[in-house]
């Protein structure tokens, strides 16, 4: 079976792009053929898994329209983009309508009032309605029950055609020694080191993490990723910018904090588990569905700095973190990219047209 992956745009640090590359490699390992349908900005050297078909389009709607007009030569299409007409859609970005609802909790009134004038939001909402029309999409993959429930609450899509396939990662490379990693990032050996990873800091709740620092003694927060650092300055926070050596970050940290307002299923949280780190996140993160509070992390309400402070204090004891390490590693091992690929292939096979 020749599988066509559909994804508009490219980001060198994007989680969807990284997942797509892992998935394509795993599916080819299972004997499948793959190609990529994308926009002109995807670098050729970032797709070693078959042909690339580029669609000229300057907006989400234009890309979706261009896909419908262009033959691809594929047996089935798995879209990671809101593109009506693909047999299978992976809702890895969640439900845009649900995300906009959650933004109401922290955005100022003027932003909420002017959001309706934003053409990009309008286009995405229109494409979302079309993708979640059962006439246009044979099967949907959600990476969490949270996303599945958001789809069912807003769209007339049959529940039996929505399949939960949680994210999958590759095994974590061996971590450097903690002492060397702390020296690299100039972290005092005795302080509790929290790690915040990624871009999109507003959505990922960096304001909540910064607020939690006020009542945390002997604590440092490392913020790794691109963003407006000047808006979040704090004497206990270090802004590192984009960091390629993620293994050293995990080795230096004691906990990953992900106080997100909305995340369908955070890859960073799963990778932290694979490095043996407990994770503190919110119930607005689909990843929280696999956590056991007090065993491999904790779950707090989104936007609640006080609750995050209390959760961090529960994990200050080094012995508790050491005891949790094996449980973190065990849980992460259940979510391999190989498992993800097998489950995805089963759905693709069932959804493929009969001639495939």
β-bridge partners, 237: 221
Residue 84 is predicted with a pLDDT of 97
Task: Provide CATH code, domain 2-168+337-351.
Answer: 3.40.50.2000
Q: Which of 234, 231, 246, 235 is nearest to 197 (CA)?
A: 246
pLDDT of residue 356: 56
> Is a pLDDT exceeding 70 seen at residue 247?
yes
What's the pLDDT at 173? 84
pLDDT at 218 over 60: yes
Statement: residue 122 has pLDDT above 80 = yes
Q: Is 53 exposed, middle or buried (0-12, 13-18, 19+ CB in 10 A)?
A: middle
Q: What is residue 304's predicted lDDT score, i.e. its pLDDT?
A: 98
| Alpha-carbon separation of residue 119 from 122, 234, 266, 307, 351 (angstroms) | 5, 35, 27, 37, 33
Average pLDDT, the chain: 96
Residue with the bigger pLDDT between 288 and 111: it is 288
How confident is the model over 337-355, as a mean pLDDT?
95
**Average pLDDT estimate for 308-333:** 98
- Its CATH architecture, for the domain 178-333, is 3-Layer(aba) Sandwich (3.40)
Q: Where in the chain is the domain with CATH 3.40.50.2000?
A: 2-168+337-351, 178-333
Average of per-residue pLDDT across 165-192? 95
- Rounded mean pLDDT, 239-255: 97
Phi, psi of 213 (to 5 degrees): -65, -25
pLDDT value for 326: 97
13-37 pLDDT, tens digit each:
788 899 999 999 999 999 999 999 9
Mind listing the pLDDT tens digit for each residue in 77-104?
999 999 999 999 999 999 999 999 999 8
pLDDT at 43: 94
What mean pLDDT comes out for the span 183-192? 96
Average pLDDT over every residue of 123-150: 98
């Amino acid at each position: 079976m020749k599988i066509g992956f559909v994804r508009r745009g490219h980001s060198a640090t994007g989680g969807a792009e990284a997942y797509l590359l892992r998935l394509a490699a795993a599916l080819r390992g299972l004997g499948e053929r793959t190609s990529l349908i994308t926009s002109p900005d995807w670098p050729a050297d970032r797709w070693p898994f078959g042909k690339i078909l580029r669609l000229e389009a300057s907006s989400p709607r234009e890309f979706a329209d261009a896909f419908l007009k262009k033959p691809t030569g594929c047996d089935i299409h798995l879209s990671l983009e809101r593109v009506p007409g693909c047999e299978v859609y992976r809702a890895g970005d969640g439900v845009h309508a649900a995300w906009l609802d959650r933004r109401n909790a922290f955005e100022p009134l003027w932003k909420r009032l002017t959001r309706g004038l934003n053409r990009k939001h309008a286009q995405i909402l229109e494409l979302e309605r079309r993708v979640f029309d059962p006439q246009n999409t044979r099967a949907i993959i959600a990476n969490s029950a949270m996303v599945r429930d958001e789809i069912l609450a807003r769209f007339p899509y049959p529940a039996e055609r929505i399949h939960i396939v949680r994210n999958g990662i590759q095994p974590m490379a061996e971590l450097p020694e903690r002492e060397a990693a702390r020296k690299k990032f100039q972290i005092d050996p005795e302080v509790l080191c929290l790690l915040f990873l990624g871009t999109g800091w507003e959505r990922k709740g960096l304001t909540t993490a910064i607020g939690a620092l006020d009542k945390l003694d002997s604590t440092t927060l490392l913020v790794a990723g691109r963003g407006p650092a000047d808006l979040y300055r704090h004497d206990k926070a270090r802004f590192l910018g984009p960091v390629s050596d993620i293994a050293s970050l995990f080795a230096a940290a004691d906990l990953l904090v992900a106080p997100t307002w909305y995340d369908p299923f955070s890859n960073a949280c799963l990778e932290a588990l694979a490095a043996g780190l407990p994770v503190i996140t919110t119930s607005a993160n689909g990843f929280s569905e696999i956590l056991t509070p007090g065993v491999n992390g904790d779950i707090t309400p989104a936007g609640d700095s006080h609750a995050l402070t209390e959760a961090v204090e529960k994990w200050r004891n080094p012995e508790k973190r050491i005891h949790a390490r094996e449980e973190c590693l065990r849980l992460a091992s259940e979510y391999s990219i190989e498992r993800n690929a097998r489950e995805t292939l089963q759905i693709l096979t069932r959804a493929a047209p009969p001639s495939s």
